[in-house]
Amino acid sequence: MTKRPKYIASCSGGKDSIATLLLAAQHDEPLDEVVFSEVMFDSGTSGEVPEHRDFIYDKLKPFCENKLGVKFTVLRAKKTYDDVFHHIIVRGPHMGEKRGFVWGGMCAVNRDCKIPPIRKYNASLSSDTISYVGIAADEPDRLARLDKTKQVSLLAKYDFTEADAFKLCAEHDLLSPIYTHCCRNGCWFCPNASNAELRHIVVNHPELFNRLIEWEQEENVFHRRLTRKETPSEIKMRLSGASQAGISHSITSI
């Protein structure tokens, strides 16, 4: 008997990747392992938004292991955001300075913390492994870029749009709490974060946001802006006075 290939699902904990797991279970599609890549802020602090991190470990991981009966693997890079921020620039006019916050659009956290463990993990897989990717039926450009020899979108196969994926996760009580304040999941210190995401951290997790302000105030830092325009202390000043009403309608107003 020929051995079937291994089937893995990369899962960020977002609606599309979780809907993929649910579709695999509903349609009896093969699934052997779920893989989640966690960026770390420092060695003891996750880079995931705290509520999302708790959702991953307290709900998604047990669901995969106990309900789906599949292995749940967490990947982490050796490097953390702490390492990226405090990297000493070795050439050019800013030689000797700490790099500081990353730039949106060319995120060094993605390059140094998110991608390396995924590359290493993928290299350990046999060449016939099939990966399920959470790309919805209404994302034609992304679907067109799939390597169809080793990547499969179950959302496209079963004609599930992003809205369908959201609904499916909600029906199974498997929607990350981040969707109450924003529509994407990223690191809590992301330079591309919307006002709603930044406000969530400033207001609900000040102990985390204050870590960024401490870094901003260190000496010899090259890039002190967290986002394209503002430093963490400027963001905090602008958003910490925001009303609770502003928070509740932040998804539509940003």
Point out which residues bind ligand SF4 (CB under 6 A).
39, 107, 109-110, 114, 186-187, 190, 192
Residue 188: CB minimum distance to ligand SF4, A: 9
Confirm if 232 and 217 have CB atoms less than 8 A apart. no
Q: Is 108 exposed, middle or buried (0-12, 13-18, 19+ CB in 10 A)?
A: middle
> What is the closest distance, in whole angstroms, from the C-beta atom of residue 124 to ligand SF4 in the complex?
22
- By C-beta, is 39 or 56 nearer to ligand SF4? 39
Sign of the torsion formed by the C-alpha atoms of 77, 145, 35 and 191: positive
Closest separation between CB of residue 226 and ligand SF4, Å? 10
**At its nearest, how many Å lie between ligand SF4 and the CB of residue 186?**
3
For residue 104, which of 200, 188, 190 has the smallest C-alpha distance? 190
Distance CA 83, CA 75 (A): 17
Would you say 153 or 194 has its CB closer to ligand SF4?
194
- Residues 50, 53, 54, CA angle at the centre, nearest 5°? 90
Q: Given the complex with ligand SF4, which of 130 and 187 has the nearer CB atom?
A: 187
Judged by beta carbon, residue 32 or residue 54, the one nearer ligand SF4 is 54
Q: How far is the CB of 108 from ligand SF4 (least distance, A)?
A: 8
Helix (H, G, I), strand (E, B) or coil at 54: helix
Would you say 22 or 77 has its CB closer to ligand SF4? 77
